[in-house]
């Protein structure tokens, strides 16, 4: 491992990503860069209203516009007019009702993008506007307009242990607070898009990014009324996703228009279209009441979560389950009551986003711990230590989990941070104050109990003599290809040049499940562990048969099979000699879930602790994160550059979540439509160095290897910043993004009361 003791994870050894050169030279073709002969361009007409009945749609004028080749509405949907990862409640094209401003009503294919866009203006849709449901708490009332047949509550989840009411009676100290979390946008740099190509043999090729090609194929087959086998989904590479492209987006429209016109159709959404139609992180309102004894032992924790899931289900239920599961985090609390509601509104659509509901509850939970610590007069680290889980404790909802000492490891590591003990400097007129804060988190991997979570992979010796490794995962920046390469080289013993890695094409790859839930690295490692022995044995046997050297004297190495420091037979030669009986090893298994029957309950967890130092300008309320450290316990590091990048990038994404990002919706309509108003961090908003420490040791009996780190780096940052702001100013933040105005106002109140009391 390229890891320097005490200096955090550092890249000692240069290891170039397999997709690196193409990316830095601009030669890599993203799927939105593709073009085909006779290609048409499509545009999608989205609803004018957040909530309305459709009275009529007239497409005649649009169809008559020269250059327009097809206009589609709900009647052109060949199969099921609906999509959704859990259940298909989102219409592909709305027929009689729209429920958010991103709802699609019609789509056009034309010879140019300009004509397609002009045609959209010519489609006449008559709406009958309905009252907008924009407050989830209001939406829960029976008097509210109901958005779906089963009412406005999409999903309800709860967990209970002990008796909180009784326990609160015996608490010495209780903290009760309501936390509000904003609607964060993934803001992947490449907006949704791709090309849809009808093939001569009647099949359809879809070139459009997603996190799960097979799932897109399944959903598209339903919509197009086509056998799945007749659809080929080419789905990598993507210009970022972060959970945002797991659900279908533009695919149904491109596919329907390609089939209708018989020509390749390209769609590439503008940023404004992307904001309007794309899913977001769930805004949540979380009420927590937490009580402790004088000695710091937390004995009662009551939580109520209301998640604004927007107009359709997508992964809303699973996100809520995750939030409920993680509401007590890594703390052992005897009396717990958690209830959560995921509620339909006309506010866009909320769905999967890196962290998956964990970010929201962790902000609230860690906020509670810090407030309790202050009230108890105890150090926040000490209070955490007193209540922290041990290696063999059950999981947060009492379930059996893989033993892990991660919580103790990350807390111990972050406690040693120099940052926490660094001097507090103030500028000469006392207007800039410095503060530090810490937070920790635990985060489940995989989809959890009761959810189909299959994984698998394939290793073969292909005709060209390459060791071909195929997975149904996608590359959206996280470094999956490098992870596959590193694991394969180490497991098999060949060199990187001997490998041919295949992903992102349903015609070529096995099913591996979705590239989501921090499962990629974990599943690649487990799959290769399962396949390596059969593959190696089979390869050596073949080499032995071809060379008459006994297997026991053969060794797999660079370029081929070796005998006594000599290359005996190359992979190429071996492939040639055994071409009539190809060597293919496949595996299928499921991501491990807890055996306890808790919907979505996890078995494997990773952990992180974050420490930050902030400066707060008291005159303007401006908060600047000066330094950030994270300690992460997620098993062995496979590809250091990727690991580092995930935690650094996740930290900054969370910094944006904390300080500036909010996809604002007013009365059901987005008011932040592009990067001039939706504010992701620039290079000027981030600390110049972020120190990451990777804790690689797992429990002795742990056989699950490396865990994915795609999400864990985003979770503990917000509460750490909030604590640092308190440390600097005495102001508790309970709503993100942090309001500068509120800091200023509260500072003035404090000043005023000081002034009054001093009189």
Partner 1 sequence: MADKQMSSSIKLPSEERMRMSIFVNGKKKELEIHPAARLVDILREQLHLTGTKISCGIGRCGACSVIMNGRLVNACLVRAYQANEKEIVTIEGLAEKGLHPIQQAFLEEGGFQCGYCTPGMIMAVKAILDQYPNPTSQQIVDGLSGNLCRCTGYSGIIRAVQKLAEKETSRLDSKC
Partner 2 sequence: MKPVKFDYYSPKTVDEALTLLEEAGFDGKIIAGGQSLVPIMNMRLSSPECLIDINQLHDLQFIEFDSDKVKIGALTRQAEVERSDVVQKHLGLLSEAVPFIGHVQTRNRGTFGGSLVHADPTAEIPLSLMALGGTLHIASKEEVREVNVEDFFITYLTTDIMPNEMLTEIHIPIEQERNGYSFYEISRRHGDFALVASACQLTIDHLDRITNVRLVLGGVEATPLLIEGANEWMNGEVLSDSLLQKVEDIVDEMVDPESDIHATAEYRRHLSKKLAVRTVKSAYERARGEANERS
Residues making contact with partner 1 (CB under 8 A) = 11, 14, 16-17, 19-30, 33, 35, 186-191, 237-240, 242, 268, 270-271, 476-479, 641-642, 644-645, 648-653, 655, 674-676, 680-684, 686, 688-690
Strands 204-208 and 231-234: parallel
In the β-sheet with 124-129, what is the strand arrangement from edge to edge? 97-98, 52-58, 124-129
Q: Nearer Cβ to partner 1, position 197 or 698? A: 197
Q: Look at residue 4 and give the partner it binds from partner 2, partner 1, none, a contact being a CB closer than 5 to 8 Å depending on partner kind.
A: none
Q: Nearer Cβ to partner 2, position 117 or 558? A: 117
Minimal distance, residue 14 CB to partner 1, in Å = 5
Cα distance between residue 54 and residue 115, in whole Å: 25
Q: Look at residue 622 and give the partner it binds from partner 2, partner 1, none, a contact being a CB closer than 5 to 8 Å depending on partner kind.
A: partner 2
Q: Look at residue 179 and give the partner it binds from partner 1, partner 2, none, a contact being a CB closer than 5 to 8 Å depending on partner kind.
A: none
Q: Nearer Cβ to partner 2, position 270 or 734? A: 270
Q: Look at residue 28 and give the partner it binds from partner 1, partner 2, none, a contact being a CB closer than 5 to 8 Å depending on partner kind.
A: partner 1
Residue 135 burial by Cβ neighbours in a 10 Å radius (0-12, 13-18, 19+): middle
Residues at the contact surface with partner 2, assessed by CB under 8 A: 113-114, 117, 270, 272, 619-620, 622, 660, 664, 671-672, 674, 676-677, 679, 681-682, 684-685, 740-741, 744
Minimal distance, residue 686 CB to partner 2, in Å = 11
Q: In angstroms, how far apart are the furthest CA atoms of the chain? A: 99
Cα distance between residue 180 and residue 286, in whole Å: 6
Work out the end-to-end distance of the chain between its first and last CA atoms, rounded to an integer number of angstroms.
63
Q: Nearer Cβ to partner 2, position 391 or 744? A: 744
Q: Nearer Cβ to partner 2, position 25 or 429? A: 429
Q: Look at residue 671 and give the partner it binds from partner 2, partner 1, none, a contact being a CB closer than 5 to 8 Å depending on partner kind.
A: partner 2
Phi-psi region of 202 (alpha: psi -120 to 50; beta: other; left: phi over 0): left
Nearest C-alpha neighbor of 447 from the set 362, 529, 390, 523: 523
What DSSP state is assigned to residue 736?
Answer: S
Q: Nearer Cβ to partner 2, position 8 or 737? A: 737
Q: Look at residue 30 and give the partner it binds from partner 2, partner 1, none, a contact being a CB closer than 5 to 8 Å depending on partner kind.
A: partner 1
Q: Nearer Cβ to partner 1, position 435 or 645? A: 645
Minimal distance, residue 419 CB to partner 2, in Å = 24
Minimal distance, residue 312 CB to partner 1, in Å = 25
Return the structure tokens found at 69: 């080749």
Angle at 562 between CA 537 and CA 531, to 5 degrees: 25
Q: Nearer Cβ to partner 1, position 478 or 544? A: 478
Minimal distance, residue 659 CB to partner 2, in Å = 9
Cα distance between residue 596 and residue 542, in whole Å: 44
Return the structure tokens found at 399: 């379930």
Q: Look at residue 281 and give the partner it binds from partner 2, partner 1, none, a contact being a CB closer than 5 to 8 Å depending on partner kind.
A: none
Minimal distance, residue 130 CB to partner 1, in Å = 32
Cα distance between residue 558 and residue 480, in whole Å: 22
**Is the omega angle on the peptide bond into residue 713 within 30 degrees of 0, that is, cis?**
no
Minimal distance, residue 396 CB to partner 1, in Å = 28
Minimal distance, residue 658 CB to partner 2, in Å = 14
Q: Nearer Cβ to partner 1, position 20 or 162? A: 20
Q: Look at residue 239 and give the partner it binds from partner 1, partner 2, none, a contact being a CB closer than 5 to 8 Å depending on partner kind.
A: partner 1
Total residues found in the chain within this entry: 759
Q: Nearer Cβ to partner 1, position 31 or 132? A: 31
Cα distance between residue 244 and residue 214, in whole Å: 17
Q: Look at residue 495 and give the partner it binds from partner 2, partner 1, none, a contact being a CB closer than 5 to 8 Å depending on partner kind.
A: none
Nearest C-alpha neighbor of 344 from the set 89, 574, 117: 89
Nearest C-alpha neighbor of 105 from the set 48, 41, 42, 40: 48
Phi-psi region of 385 (alpha: psi -120 to 50; beta: other; left: phi over 0): alpha
Q: Look at residue 740 and give the partner it binds from partner 1, partner 2, none, a contact being a CB closer than 5 to 8 Å depending on partner kind.
A: partner 2
Angle at 65 between CA 63 and CA 69, to 5 degrees: 55
Minimal distance, residue 254 CB to partner 1, in Å = 18
Segment holding 124, helix H or strand E? strand 124-129
Q: Nearer Cβ to partner 2, position 677 or 689? A: 677
Helix axes 358-376, 316-325, angle to 10 degrees: 20
Minimal distance, residue 678 CB to partner 2, in Å = 10
What DSSP state is assigned to residue 3?
Answer: B
Angle at 526 between CA 521 and CA 529, to 5 degrees: 125
Q: Look at residue 367 and give the partner it binds from partner 1, partner 2, none, a contact being a CB closer than 5 to 8 Å depending on partner kind.
A: none
Cα distance between residue 405 and residue 698, in whole Å: 7
Minimal distance, residue 162 CB to partner 1, in Å = 40
Q: Look at residue 382 and give the partner it binds from partner 1, partner 2, none, a contact being a CB closer than 5 to 8 Å depending on partner kind.
A: none
Minimal distance, residue 679 CB to partner 2, in Å = 5
Q: Nearer Cβ to partner 2, position 374 or 623? A: 623
Cα distance between residue 613 and residue 626, in whole Å: 6
């Amino acid at each position: 491992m390229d890891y320097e003791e005490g200096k955090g994870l550092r890249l000692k050894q240069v290891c170039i990503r397999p997709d690196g050169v193409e990316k830095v030279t601009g030669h890599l073709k993203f799927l939105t860069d593709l073009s085909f002969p006779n290609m048409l361009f499509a545009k999608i007409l989205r609803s004018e209203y957040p909530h309305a009945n459709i009275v009529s749609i007239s497409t005649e004028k649009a169809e008559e516009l020269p250059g327009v080749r097809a206009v589609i509405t709900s009647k052109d949907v060949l199969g099921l007019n609906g999509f959704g990862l859990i259940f298909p409640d989102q219409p592909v094209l709305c027929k009689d009702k729209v429920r958010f401003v991103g709802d699609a009503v019609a789509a056009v294919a034309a010879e140019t993008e300009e004509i397609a866009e002009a045609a959209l203006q010519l489609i006449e849709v008559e709406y009958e506007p309905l009252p907008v449901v924009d407050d989830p708490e209001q939406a829960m009332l029976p008097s509210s307009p109901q958005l779906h047949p089963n009412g406005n509550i999409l999903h309800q989840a709860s967990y209970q242990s002990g008796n909180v009411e009784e326990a609160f009676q015996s608490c010495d100290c209780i903290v009760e607070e309501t936390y509000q979390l904003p609607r964060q946008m993934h803001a992947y740099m490449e907006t949704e898009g791709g090309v849809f190509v009808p093939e001569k043999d009647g099949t359809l090729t879809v070139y459009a990014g997603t996190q799960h090609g097979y799932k897109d194929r399944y959903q598209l087959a339903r919509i197009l009324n086509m056998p799945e086998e007749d659809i080929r989904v080419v789905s990598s590479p993507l210009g970022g996703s972060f959970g945002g492209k797991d659900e279908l987006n533009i695919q149904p429209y491109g596919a329907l228009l390609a089939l209708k016109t018989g020509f390749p159709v390209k769609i590439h959404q503008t940023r404004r279209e992307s904001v309007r139609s794309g899913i977001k992180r769930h805004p949540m309102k979380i009420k927590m009441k937490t009580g402790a004894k004088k000695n710091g032992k937390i004995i009662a924790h009551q939580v109520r979560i209301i998640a604004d899931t927007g107009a359709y289900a997508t992964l809303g239920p699973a996100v809520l389950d995750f939030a409920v599961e993680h509401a007590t985090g890594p703390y052992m609390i005897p009396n717990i009551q958690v209830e959560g509601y995921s509620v339909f509104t006309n506010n866009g659509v909320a769905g999967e986003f890196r962290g998956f509901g964990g970010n929201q509850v962790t902000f609230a939970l860690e906020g509670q711990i810090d407030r309790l610590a202050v009230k108890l007069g105890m150090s926040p680290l000490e209070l955490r230590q007193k209540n922290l889980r041990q290696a063999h404790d059950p999981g947060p909802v009492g379930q059996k989990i893989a033993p892990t000492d991660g919580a103790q490891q990350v807390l111990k590591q972050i406690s040693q941070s120099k940052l926490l003990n660094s001097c507090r400097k103030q500028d000469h007129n006392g207007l800039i104050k410095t503060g530090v804060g810490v937070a920790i988190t635990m985060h489940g991997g995989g989809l959890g109990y009761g959810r189909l979570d299959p994984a698998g992979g394939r290793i073969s010796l292909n005709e060209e003599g390459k060791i071909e490794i195929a997975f149904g995962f996608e590359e959206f920046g996280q470094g999956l290809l490098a992870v596959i390469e590193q694991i394969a080289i180490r497991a098999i013993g060949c060199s990187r040049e001997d490998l041919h890695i295949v992903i992102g094409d349903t015609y070529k790859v096995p099913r591996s499940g979705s590239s989501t839930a921090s499962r990629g690295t974990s599943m690649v490692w487990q799959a290769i562990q399962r396949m390596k022995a059969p593959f190696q044995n089979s390869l050596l046997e073949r080499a032995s048969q071809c060379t008459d050297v006994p297997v026991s004297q053969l060794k797999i190495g660079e370029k081929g099979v070796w005998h006594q420091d000599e290359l005996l037979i190359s992979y190429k030669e071996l492939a040639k000699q055994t071409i009539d009986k190809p060597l293919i090893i496949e595996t299928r298994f499921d991501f491990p879930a807890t055996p306890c029957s808790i919907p979505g309950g996890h078995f494997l967890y990773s952990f992180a602790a974050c420490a930050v130092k902030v400066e707060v300008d008291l005159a303007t309320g401006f908060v600047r994160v000066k330094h950030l450290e994270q300690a992460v316990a997620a098993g062995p590091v496979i590809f250091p550059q990727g690991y580092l990048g995930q935690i650094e990038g996740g930290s900054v994404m969370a910094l944006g979540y904390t300080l500036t990002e909010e996809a604002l919706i007013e009365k059901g309509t987005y008011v932040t439509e592009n990067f001039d108003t939706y504010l992701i961090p620039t290079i000027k908003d981030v600390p110049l160095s972020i120190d990451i420490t990777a804790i690689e040791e797992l429990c002795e009996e742990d056989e699950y290897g490396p865990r994915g780190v795609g999400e864990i780096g985003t979770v503990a940052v917000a509460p750490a910043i909030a604590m640092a702001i308190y440390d600097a100013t005495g102001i508790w933040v309970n709503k993100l993004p942090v309001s500068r105005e509120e800091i200023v106002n509260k500072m003035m109140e404090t000043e005023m009361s000081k002034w009054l009391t001093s009189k």
